[in-house]
Each structure stands twice: as C-alpha cells, then as structure tokens.
Amino acid sequence: MNKQPPIQGPLAFEELRQTNEHGAEYWSARDLQSTLGYSQWRRFDDAVKRAKVSCETSGNSVDHHFAGAGKPITGGKGAVQFVDDYHLSRFACYLIAQNGDPRKPEIAQAQKYFAVQTRRQELSDQVTADKERLELRKQTSEEFKALSGAAQDAGVQSKMFGVFHDAGYKGLYGGLGGAAIKARKTIPEKDNLLDRMNATELAANQFRMTQTRDKLARDGVRNQAQAIQTHEQVGKEVRDAIKRIGGTPPEKIPPAEHIKEVEKRLKHTTPKLELDEREAGGLLGEVSGKSSKDKL
C-alpha cells in the first residue's frame, strides 16, 4: 500500500475522502493509518478503539461513525488478500486524531486541522495532559517488555533482569537505582516506578529503553556483563543529552500522581461537542427524527 503524505491542511485529508452507497462521505482507516504517522496497524487500531469508546460514552452511535470493512491488498506475486479495515465518518476521524499519540507530528497536524473546523472538542488542559501521560505509560510498558526480550537475547539470565534494568536507571539517574529513586522521591516501595513518572520522565525512560534495545542488537551483544554495561552507558548518554539542552535531571522531577488515578479521572470525563444533524448521521447520511443538535 502506498504511504500517504501526513495531514498538513484540508487538501491532504480531503483527498482521501470517499462516498458510500448512502451518499455519505467516509475515510478508510487503512488509508489514514500512514497519513497519521502509524507504521503498525496494531497501534493505529488501538487509537481507533479508544475513539470508539469516546463515541459511545458520549451518547453517539458507534455504528453511525465506525463501520467494519475489509480492504483488498495485492501481494508481491499478485495475490490478493483482505485485511481488516474501518469506514470512518468525518467525526470518527476527528475522534481518532484526539485519541492518537500526541507526540506524532502527523497527529498534531490533524488535531490542528480539525480545530479550525466546526467540530471543536472542549477538552481542558488537564484532560489533554492526562491522555498524553497515559499513552506514554502504555508505550513505555510495551518497550520495557521488548527490552527484557532483547536482554535475554543478549545473554542476560532471568535472575539478573533486575540488575540489568537497574543499570539503566543508574545511568540515567546519576547512579541511583530503582529503590534509591523511590526513596529520594518518597514513592511507596509497592508502587511501580513508571506509574509515578510524569510525561517528560516517561519519555526519557522510553528513549533510554529503545536506544539500549537497538544498541544491543546493532553491536551483537551476547554477554551478560556487556549487556548490563551497555544499558548503563546508554542511560548516561541520555542523561548527558538532557543536561546539554538544559533539561531537569530525572531524579529532580517530582513524583506524579499514580497512573491509576489518571485512568480513573479520564474514565469519568466526558468531552463536550455539538454535532449538526448531518454530522450526527455520519456514515448513514442525514438521520430523520434526530434533533438538530447532538451533544458529545
């Protein structure tokens, strides 16, 4: 499938628009995937699922805005296979942009585009920050698992995983291991350290993990001691980069509220949006019997 250019204005997004049998406009999720900066369907599908939840909890019909579909993909030898896809209303595209990874420039551009349309979502700064932190926490958890797998491939025994991961913390936090970081920040011992990091600290640790994983593979490390040393060295390099740009050393960043409190707050937060009758109908076109205003 050809990679679409990122959304940078009305033209790039509108060129992907199609029309269904009801005469209603729609967009293919597979087309939007690369346009919104996602290389993996799995990650993009997660954003779609979050958008569907936002649609449902707001009182709008998911069926009016998200329709399951299959998309034919031609393989290298001309074989055609069907992959999962969604037909999305304009409102669905808007919700996906709002629920996408906020660090992706394509998502930021999409959010700006929709912000100048009539589909404005009244999200507080707190909700926006909560969504960003929650997304980063999920991604960091995935990266932690991937790094553990890379460490195993590099020769780290399972009983040494704690030492291996602590080495990364020591490099990034100026010699402080996980327990020492908790003590310095007065974080309860039972708490997962990642659950008490704000977005900035999570991003620094995620970068440390991805760079360590790549370096272990690139250097062909197959020795436990070398793998542990590599993790600590990468942590030091990330720390030095933070210093060079004038950032706050991670050990000096105050602990954030527990991530479970963030999840709880977002679960009970309902964004506000008004849709006109045509937009409320979504993939079905105008729906009779609806009021002129549907509130999200």
Same-domain status, 136 and 247: yes
Number of alpha carbons in the 13 Å side-chain half-sphere of residue 42: 2
Is 5 inside a domain boundary?
A: no
Higher pLDDT, 28 or 268: 28
In a domain, 202, yes or no: yes
Q: Would residue 143 count as lying in a domain?
A: yes
Same domain, 44 and 65: yes
Q: Is the pLDDT of residue 203 over 90?
A: yes
Examine the domain organization and report whether 87 and 205 are in the same domain.
no
Shared domain for 188 and 66, answered yes or no, is: no
Instruction: Look at residue 1 and tell me if it is in a domain.
Output: no
Is 187 within a domain?
Answer: yes
Average pLDDT over residues 261-284: 75
* pLDDT, greater one: 145 or 286: 145
The number of folded domains in the chain is 2
Residue 288 domain-assigned (yes or no): yes
Q: Do both 132 and 250 map to the same domain?
A: yes
Give residue-wise pLDDT tens across range 244-260.
999 999 999 999 999 99
Give the pLDDT band (50/70/90) at residue 167.
very high
56 assigned to some structural domain? yes
One domain for residues 182 and 84? no
Residue 183 pLDDT > 80, yes or no? Answer: yes
In this structure, are 82 and 61 located in the same domain?
Answer: yes
Residues 140 and 229 in one domain: yes
In a domain, 194, yes or no: yes
136 and 207 co-located in one domain: yes
| Least confident interval from 3-17, 26-40, 81-95, 133-147 | 3-17
Let me know whether 105 and 168 are in one domain: no
Question: Is there a single domain that holds both residue 214 and residue 276?
Answer: no
For residues 148 and 24, which has the higher predicted lDDT (pLDDT)?
148
Q: Can you give the pTM of this predicted structure?
A: 0.57
Enclosing domain of residue 20: 10-123+271-295
pLDDT recorded at residue 266: 85
* Co-location of 134 and 247 in the same domain: yes
Two tokens at 40? Answer: 């993996």
